[in-house]
Every structure is written in C-alpha cells, then in structure tokens.
Structure 1
C-alpha cells in the first residue's frame, strides 16, 4: 500500500491535500500568535461568527463560493469589532463578550441555513466538504495564504512585541497596539473564511489551533514553535486524508482528529514540558538529591 497512491491516482485527493497544506502554512502561525496572546478561544468564537454571513450569502446565491466567503468575512470581522468595542465600553471582559456574540452567531447561522436548505446543506456548511474542493476554492485558499504570509512578514516584529509588552510597542515603534491587533484579527478572519470553504465552520479552527497548541511541547522559542506548528499541521493533513481514503471516514473531521491525536502525542512525548520529559526530570532530580 503506497502512502502516495491516493494522491497520485485521484485529483480530488490532490486538491484536498493542496488546500490543507495552504491552510497549514497560513492559518497555523496565526494560531501560535493567538496562543501567545492568550486568545485561543477567540479563534473558535470567530469561526462560529463567520456562519451568519455565510448563511446570508447562501440564502442569496445558493452554494456560491464568492457570496458565502464575502458574507462570512463581513460577519466575522463585525463580531470581532463589536466584541472589542463592548469589552472597552462596558465592564464585560473580552472573552465573555466573544462568547456571547459567537453563541448568538452560531444559532442565527444555523437558523438561516435551515430556512432554505436541507440537512445536507447544513452539514456542508458546518463540517465542510474537503473532498469536493475545486480549483476555485484552491485559488481562494492559496490567495489568502499568500496575503497572510506577506502581512505576517510585515507586522511580525510589532506583533511579537505586542504579544509580550504592548506598552513597549507604543513607546518604541511607529506601530500602535490597536492597529497591529486590528490587522491580526483581519488575518484570522480571512483564514477562518478560507478554512470554512474547506473544513466547514465547526472544523476550520481545528487546523488553526491544535497544531499551534501542540508546538508548545516541541519548542520554547517562537521560530521553533512556528516551524513545529506548520510541520504538525501538514502531517495531520496528510495522515487525515490518508485515513479518510482507506477507512471511509469524513475527510475534514479526519484531518482535525489527526491533529488532535498529534496534540495528545505532544503532551506525552514533547521535550518541552511533555509528561514523559517532566517525569524524567523529576526522577533525575530525585536521584541527584
């Protein structure tokens, strides 16, 4: 059984793999920065916030890639801005604000899709159809990945500084913290829209956050974490698609499940705080004492 056979023989497997790799390269680094900024659950909230806009695009144009993508981007960005405004103007903390908006967005999106669509359409929106990715979807995901990488290269230094010391950024840089945060959230929403086209609204955040969280156990330096996160995401994409082909599993959930398995392996075996590493350190320390 050749590991590459499904991808050599079938075009739909190649397209699915290319889309997942593009997401791995662009979305996973954003997940690392969400982790550093203690905004891990914001990614999940925004992935649900995309749904009402995508549902409105679906009601207007059916399963149109452009309409659903534009609608999802507008809805996700609106929720991000509204949540930030509410947390600044009221005593409500930002995480609670995001939670309120995303729960309402999820319910509204499911309701809108159900008004016109069937249960199949609802499953398509929520869980994606990775093996049905076409050239137009790959072009969209690839374009968003390219834009994300260029934008990250532009704001990388201020983004790192803002993650650790926003006051230092204000004092020493021409970049302001709200500007950097705004660009960053726009990139997150863009990648969730790209992931929504491939993995659905419920699964898209999985490929963004699980490899990023796993990477913490393989490196304590930011460049190492970014590299490890991308590698883990690519491995999860390949292994998930491989398992879906031979075990007849749904492709999108299989990819995210593979990322979750790598997360648990990282917890056990990771050299930077993994359970076995910590136990070995404790055992060695006791022997020295």
Structure 2
C-alpha cells in the first residue's frame, strides 16, 4: 500500500511538484468552475480554454517553451476572444455561445498550426495535453500566484458574484457592482485557464475547473459548500490521477482529468442531492 499510494511522492520530487500543482489548480479553478456552472456558462470554460492557445503558441513560436511569453500570450488571446465574442453577440444576430464556438474552433486550429511551424510532435503533444510531471519552480510560482489572486478576488467579490449567479435582476436593482464583478470574474476564468494550460494543456485545462464543480452539485446546496466540496474533489482527483499515472504508466494529465470524471460519475449515481440512486431508489425507511 505504501509503495502504491505514498512512496512515489516521498521518493520522487517531480511527483511532489505535480501534486502541488494539482492542489493549486484545484484551489483556484474549482470555485471559479462553480460560478461558471451556476451561471450556465460551463461550455464557455471549454471554449475559453481553447481560445488561449493561439497566444500561447505565438509566445512559443517567438521564444520557445518560455514561461512568461506563453503566459502573457495566452492571457492576451483569452481576453481578446472573450471581448470579441461579446461584441459579435451584441452587434449581430449571433448569440454569445455561437460566437464563442466559432472563435474556439478558429483558435484551436490556428494554435495547432502555429506550434507545428516550429515545434515537433512532442512539443505539440505538450501544448495540447500539458506536462504536469515537468513543473519547475517558476511554473509552480505562477500557479500559486494565480491561485492567490483568485482567492483574494473571490473573497472580495463573493456577495455580488453569488447574487449575479442566482438573481442578477435583484443585483442590478440594488447595486451597480454586477458589471464590474462580471468582468473581474471573466478575468479569473482566463487566468485559471492559463494556469491549467501550463499543467494540463489546452485540451484538458478546463478539466479540474469544471468536473469537480459539476460533481459537487450532487453533494452541496449553498454556494460556499459547493466551492469547498469542489476544491476537495479537485485535490482528490489530482492525487488519484497521479497515483494512476505512476503505477499504470499512463499520461499524467489525462489520468487526473479521468479521475475527476470518475468522481463525477460516482456523484451522478450516489449524490444525495439529485443523484440517480437517492432519486429513483430511495431508502426503505422513506417508503414506510
């Protein structure tokens, strides 16, 4: 048991770094995922995860696998796509989800082409699926910084974000903080997707953001408990995915997201708030 569940993290520094990275992504990304879910913007997270790829790829094309250029390029591309999609939705007949879908497909194709212009298939695989086992100190500092900014921003804007998620009309009637808090929230989405990109790649960056948040919906009722449960699910998924990856020699990023998917499926079946078993096969004492 020790060799399977504890030994890898004691013996190998890269496993400890990967676990710290997964914890940081869960602490920052899972609460953001809860708000995306409550706002019915879950698919926006996936679209935005692909939207950052051209900017990160441009940084890679110019400077190689350098942390700062790829990060800044990803942030710039994410904000550009978010703003452009919003403008298209406002001034044309397209809805925002359709506009985001269009830009997401364009961004993914463009990013892959840019990476292919300079890099090898190994570099392309790293950009698409991440390298959580290769996290170095600067990348961990970046993840920790983004997590800190996210938690501080959520603490300061918690009330307007909650109101804007459950009753935006009431928030508009009593305060003007709805629009600014929404813009800050979009910024947090982009930042956490960029953090996820460095660890899990553009195709899986949204995994630790959305899957734990969706799974938490079957276990909690209020927003605070949903966020706490989602963070716990995210950390557990990161640990379980790394254990699976080490012992079964599977890719680490997909293994982490797969474990988050297992948590979701278990929650879907057994979760006390809307799970299949409690809903359609209630306890016998309730039938009495």
TM tier relative to shorter chain: over 0.9
Structure 2 gaps of 5+ residues are: none
2:147 alignment partner in structure 1: 145
Which segment drifts farther, 164-173 or 195-204?
164-173
Q: In the TM superposition, what whole-angstrom CA distance separates every residue of 1:218-254 from its partner, at most 9, and x where no partner exists?
A: 1122111111111111110000001111111111110
Task: After TM superposition, give the deviation of residue 178 of structure 1 in Å.
Answer: 2.3
Which segment drifts farther, 84-93 or 245-254?
84-93
Query: What is the alpha-carbon distance in structure 1 between the residues aligned to residue 219 and residue 170 of structure 2?
Result: 28
Query: What is the alpha-carbon distance in structure 2 between the residues aligned to residue 158 and residue 281 of structure 1?
Result: 37
Query: What is the alpha-carbon distance in structure 2 between the residues aligned to residue 220 and residue 166 of structure 1?
Result: 19
2:257 alignment partner in structure 1: 256
**TM-score calculated relative to the size of structure 2:** 0.97
1:83 alignment partner in structure 2: 85
1:11 alignment partner in structure 2: 13
2:221 alignment partner in structure 1: 220
Query: What is the alpha-carbon distance in structure 2 between the residues aligned to residue 266 and residue 74 of structure 1?
Result: 36
2:72 alignment partner in structure 1: 70
Which segment drifts farther, 231-240 or 219-228?
219-228
Tell me the C-alpha RMSD between the 2 structures.
1.3
Q: How has the CA–CA distance of structure 1 residues 12 and 173 changed in structure 2, closer, same or farther, with 3 Å as cutoff?
A: same
Query: What is the alpha-carbon distance in structure 1 between the residues aligned to residue 273 and residue 78 of structure 2?
Result: 34
Q: In the TM superposition, what whole-angstrom CA distance separates every residue of 1:93-148 from its partner, at most 9, and x where no partner exists?
A: 11111101101000000011111111111001000111000011100000000000
Task: After TM superposition, give the deviation of residue 280 of structure 1 in Å.
Answer: 2.6
Matched, 1:230 2:242: no
1:195 alignment partner in structure 2: 196
1:273 alignment partner in structure 2: 274
Which 4+ residue blocks in structure 1 deviate beyond 6 angstroms? 282-285
2:138 alignment partner in structure 1: 136
Alignment of 1:65-214 (within 5 A): 65-175=67-177, 177-214=178-215
Query: What is the alpha-carbon distance in structure 2 between the residues aligned to residue 7 and residue 240 of structure 1?
Result: 13
Query: What is the alpha-carbon distance in structure 2 between the residues aligned to residue 284 and residue 94 of structure 1?
Result: 47
Q: How has the CA–CA distance of structure 1 residues 88 and 15 changed in structure 2, closer, same or farther, with 3 Å as cutoff?
A: same
Number of aligned residue pairs: give it. 286
Task: After TM superposition, give the deviation of residue 167 of structure 1 in Å.
Answer: 2.3
Instruction: State the secondary structure of the residue aligned to 1:281.
Output: coil
Q: In the TM superposition, what whole-angstrom CA distance separates every residue of 1:165-223 from its partner, at most 9, and x where no partner exists?
A: 22221221241x32111110100000000110111001110010000000001112211
**TM-score calculated relative to the size of structure 1:** 0.96
